[in-house]
């Protein structure tokens, strides 16, 4: 898990996303994190493709190592998402 030392968060165990930049075990996080919030209901295969495509697009546009790109997917029920003053479960019924 992450912990803070100074202003830079870092892992206790190196995973390739952090690097030691000086003395006293100070590390600088160099990993990009892509966060996706979307309605629940996508299959694991769709999520797998999304993670792959987002990683490829990020590396193509910004450079870097694909192994350092992290994608966090949060599934949200339509009843927990509002848009235009309405619950999405009312706007977009199944």
Q: What is the mean predicted confidence (pLDDT) over 7-22? A: 50
DSSP H/E element including 53 = helix 44-62
According to the model, what pLDDT value does residue 22 have? 56
According to the model, what pLDDT value does residue 51 have? 98
HSE of 91 in the Cβ direction (CA atoms, 13 Å)?
Answer: 13
Report the DSSP pairing between strands 27-29 and 18-20.
antiparallel
pTM for this structure?
A: 0.68
Q: 89 and 44 in one domain? A: yes
Q: 45 and 7 in one domain? A: no
Two tokens at 14? Answer: 């190196």
Q: 36 and 16 in one domain? A: no
Q: Residue 48: which domain range?
A: 31-94
Q: 88 and 43 in one domain? A: yes
Confirm if 54 and 34 have CB atoms less than 8 A apart: yes
Q: 39 and 25 in one domain? A: no
Q: Is 26 strand, coil or helix?
A: coil
How many domains does one find in the chain?
2
Query: Where is pLDDT greater, at 78 or 25?
Result: 78
Report, as residue numbers or ranges, the catalytic residues: 32
């Amino acid at each position: 898990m992450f912990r803070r030392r100074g202003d830079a968060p870092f892992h206790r165990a190196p995973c390739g996303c952090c690097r030691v930049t000086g003395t006293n075990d100070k590390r600088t996080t160099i990993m990009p994190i892509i966060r996706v919030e979307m309605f629940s209901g996508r299959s694991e295969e769709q999520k797998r493709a999304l993670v792959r495509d987002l990683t490829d697009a990020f590396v193509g546009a910004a450079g870097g190592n694909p192994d350092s790109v992290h994608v966090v997917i949060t599934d949200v029920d339509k009843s927990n998402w509002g848009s235009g003053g309405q619950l999405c479960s009312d706007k977009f019924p199944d």
